[in-house]
Amino acid sequence: MNYDILIKKAKENSLEGKLLDRETLIALLEIDPDSKAVEKLGESAREVASKFANNKGSVWASIGIDYQPCKMNCSFCSFGVKWGAITNRYQWGVDDIIQYTGKFVSEGAKWVTLRTTECFRTDNLCSLAKKVRSNVLGNYELVANTGELNDEKAKLLYESGFKVVYHSIRLREGIDTPFNVNERCKTLEAVRSSNLTLAYLVEPIGVEHSNEEIADVFLTAMRYGAKLTGAMARVPVSGTPLFKYGALPERRLAQITAVTRLGAGKYAPDICVHPPSKLAMEWGANVVVIETGAIPRDIKNIKNEWGGFDMSTAKKWYEETGYEA
The model's pLDDT over 147-194, given as tens digits with 9 standing for 90+, comes to: 999 999 999 999 999 999 999 999 999 999 999 999 999 999 999 999
Contact 145, 116 (CB under 8 A): yes
Coil vs helix vs strand at 194? coil
**pTM score > 0.85 for this model?**
yes
Q: Which CATH number fits domain 3-320: 3.90.730.10, 3.30.70.20, 3.40.50.620, 3.20.20.70?
A: 3.20.20.70
Instruction: Give the pLDDT confidence score for residue 153 in this predicted structure.
Output: 99
Instruction: Give the pLDDT confidence score for residue 310 in this predicted structure.
Output: 98
E strand or H helix that includes residue 134: helix 122-135
Summary mean pLDDT of the chain = 97
Residue 254 has pLDDT above 90, yes or no: yes
Instruction: Give the pLDDT confidence score for residue 227 in this predicted structure.
Output: 99
E strand or H helix that includes residue 231: strand 228-233
Backbone dihedral angles phi then psi of residue 266, each to the nearest 5 degrees? -75, -15
Contact 125, 75 (CB under 8 A): no
Convert the pLDDT of each residue in 77-123 to its tens digit. Answer: 999 999 999 888 899 999 999 999 999 999 999 999 999 999 999 99
Q: Residue 242: CB partners within 8 Å, gap ≥ 6?
A: 75, 76, 176, 206, 208, 234, 236
Residues of the chain with pLDDT > 90, as a percent, come to 95
Instruction: Give the pLDDT confidence score for residue 302 in this predicted structure.
Output: 82
Convert the pLDDT of each residue in 206-248 to its tens digit. Answer: 999 999 999 999 999 999 999 999 999 999 999 999 999 999 9
**DSSP sequence for 132-188:** HHHH--SS-EEEEE-S---HHHHHHHHHTTEEEEE----TTTTTTS---HHHHHHHH
Arithmetic mean of pLDDT, 280-294: 98
**DSSP sequence for 228-253:** EEEEEEPPP-TTSGGGGG-PPPHHHH
Q: Where are the domains of the chain?
A: 3-320
Length of the chain (residues):
325
Q: Are strands 66-67 and 90-91 parallel, antiparallel or unpaired?
A: antiparallel
Arithmetic mean of pLDDT, 292-318: 94
